[in-house]
Amino acid sequence: MTTTLITGGTVVNATGRGAADVLVDGEQIAAVLAPGSTLLGHDLAASVDRVIDATGKYVIPGGIDAHTHMEMPFGGTFASDTFETGTKAAAWGGTTTIVDFVVQYAGENPLEQYALWQDKAAGACAIDYGFHQILSDVQDSSLDAMDELVAEGVSSFKLFMAYKGVFLSDDGQIVKAMQKAASNGSMIMMHAENGSVIDLLVQQSLARGDTDPVFHGLTRPWQAEAEATHRAIMLANLTGAPLYVVHVSAKQAAHQIALARDEGQNVFGETCPQYLYLSLEEQLGAPGFDGAKWVCSTPLRSRAEHHQDHMWRALRTNDLQLVSTDHCPFCMTQKQLGVRDFSKIPNGIGSVEHRLDLLYQGVVTGEITLERWVEICSTTPARMFGMYGRKGVIAPGADADLVVYDPAGHTSIGLGKTHHMQMDYSAWEGFEVDGHVDTVLSRGSVVVDGGEFHGRAGHGRYVKRELSQYLI
């Protein structure tokens, strides 16, 4: 068992910051100590196997990305990152745990799909991982499977109000799943867009000959997101199920979540880096087919309507609780499937490597505090999805998932710079961050240090999650 002392840094938890040394024994944090503490009168640094000098830097709990899609089948192709390449890229960016999605299409057995995803991830992941379960076919067998999956540590289930014939569940199916969640304590996650309205607008757009990528956003208007978010909240209110709305991009949808929370309902929301920084005008509306790089759902919103500013505000006020990536990368060769029809462009942006940096830039610009950065990137995901105490905090007994972050460093994002995702372009090309991930530990093992990757496929372990620790 290797012992490590991280010394000289400022330890930052969601609850505050302070100068402290962190002692790691094997895979866990053994102690958080006053700077320069001794062991039985002896220099502690001389008593450990490894010393990491964090002078002038922040020591934070490893990031938790609670929304990723490695190897996801979509639109006739697969997300380009495997569990190996995607988790390696995550580690480069200071993320030490992901929660990915098991995919179930209509007619498939959720338990068999769970076993398949376990086989995909086992021996491949460079960091720890857990699973949510997608349910697209809410039958009696699916409801029975929900109980069995909760016992396996899959305590959250994702439903869709869009993608007819692929993932969409009708309101009755959604209510059935919510009733089950209310009885077994699990969390319902919702892709909230009005699929019927979107399908109509897409058909009308294509009939007019409007086929460029920008029309992906224009045919998924904010009204479709806000209406579906409100409807999901009402169904959750009816059943008593906790509700977590994924990838919130429209300020009107965030407002629906805020209203429900003000009434004391267990409703939560995440946003993603793309909805904080990118826009329909600047990226999705890029000339020619270039906008396909930024096709994702929910879509990028208009900067003129101030959706991005509202997302930051909602994070400050806790109307939205955390930031995940919805990492679902595709190469441009795959995006070309929709070169004549925007509705055929595989939906997804690659961000798993950049989330921590992009959110830290929000600290630099005054959008969020240092503690809130840690909270929305690590602590709240751990609490929301049943991992807190083991993950999401620097405290004795927690897993030694730690990041040494240099506020005086600099990160240039782009292909050939900080880009280890399995993609042939970067959605974040040219972004500059006033900070840098220097050292990353996953369960006590150094996986990134000195600009080099020291991890390995298979180091990551499955996290058997408990029920949410974030409910009222």
Strands (E), 90-146: 95-102, 128-134
The parent domain of residue 17 ranges over 3-60+398-407+416-453
Peptide bond into 239 cis (omega under 30): no
Whether 85 and 45 share a structural domain:
no
Identify residue 468 by its one-letter amino acid code.
S
Whether 214 and 72 share a structural domain:
yes
Q: Has residue 426 been placed in a domain? A: yes
Q: Has residue 435 been placed in a domain? A: yes
Residue written as token pair 């330890």? 11
Q: Between the CA of residue 379 and those of 13, 207, 351, 370, 375, what are the distances in Å?
A: 8, 47, 19, 13, 5
Q: Has residue 461 been placed in a domain? A: no
What's 141's DSSP letter?
Answer: H
Whether 34 and 151 share a structural domain:
no
Q: In angstroms, rounded to a whole number, what is the distance separating the alpha carbons of residues 258 and 253?
A: 9
Look over the chain and give the mean of its residue pLDDT values, rounded to a whole number: 97
Whether 81 and 54 share a structural domain:
no
Residue written as token pair 């990492």? 327
Whether 153 and 285 share a structural domain:
yes
| 402-427 tens-digit pLDDT | 999 999 999 999 998 999 999 999 99
For residue 462, list its beta bridge partners.
129
Q: Between the CA of residue 230 and those of 83, 174, 193, what are the distances in Å?
A: 34, 14, 10
Confidence bin at 31 (pLDDT 50/70/90): very high
Q: In angstroms, rounded to a whole number, what is the distance separating the alpha carbons of residues 130 and 98?
A: 6
Q: In angstroms, rounded to a whole number, what is the distance separating the alpha carbons of residues 142 and 136?
A: 9
Confidence bin at 74 (pLDDT 50/70/90): confident
Cβ-proximal residues to 151 (8 Å cutoff; 6+ apart), any chain:
none
Whether 189 and 52 share a structural domain:
no
Whether 425 and 371 share a structural domain:
no
Whether 372 and 438 share a structural domain:
no
Whole-number pLDDT of residue 472: 81
Q: Has residue 90 been placed in a domain? A: yes
Structural contact between residues 327 and 356, judged by C-beta atoms closer than 8 angstroms: no
Q: In angstroms, rounded to a whole number, what is the distance separating the alpha carbons of residues 250 and 310?
A: 8
What is the secondary structure of 236-265 as a DSSP string? HHHHT--EEE-S---HHHHHHHHHHHHTT-
For residue 211, list its beta bridge partners.
none
Q: Has residue 253 been placed in a domain? A: yes
What is the secondary structure of 269-324 as a DSSP string? EEE-HHHHH--IIIIIT-TTTGGGGG--SSPP--TTTTHHHHHHHHHHHTSS-EE-
Q: In angstroms, rounded to a whole number, what is the distance separating the alpha carbons of residues 318 and 312?
A: 10
Whether 139 and 281 share a structural domain:
yes
Residue written as token pair 């059943």? 239
The dihedral of CA 451, 421, 386, 371: what is its sign? positive
| 264-309 tens-digit pLDDT | 999 999 999 999 999 999 999 999 999 999 999 999 999 999 999 9
Whether 330 and 441 share a structural domain:
no
Whether the predicted pLDDT of 164 surpasses 90: yes
Q: What is the pTM of this model?
A: 0.98
Cβ-proximal residues to 15 (8 Å cutoff; 6+ apart), any chain:
371
Whether 55 and 84 share a structural domain:
no
Whole-number pLDDT of residue 40: 72
Whether the predicted pLDDT of 75 surpasses 90: no
Q: Has residue 281 been placed in a domain? A: yes
Q: Has residue 460 been placed in a domain? A: no
> Pairing relation of β-strands 28-33 and 21-25?
antiparallel
Q: Has residue 95 been placed in a domain? A: yes
Determine phi and psi for 133, rounding to 5 degrees. -120, 125
Cβ-proximal residues to 307 (8 Å cutoff; 6+ apart), any chain:
222, 249, 250, 251, 275, 301
Whether 133 and 9 share a structural domain:
no
The CATH number of whichever domain residue 402 belongs to comes to 2.30.40.10
Give the chain's domain count: 2
The CATH number of whichever domain residue 289 belongs to comes to 3.20.20.140
| 97-132 tens-digit pLDDT | 999 999 999 999 999 999 999 999 999 999 999 999
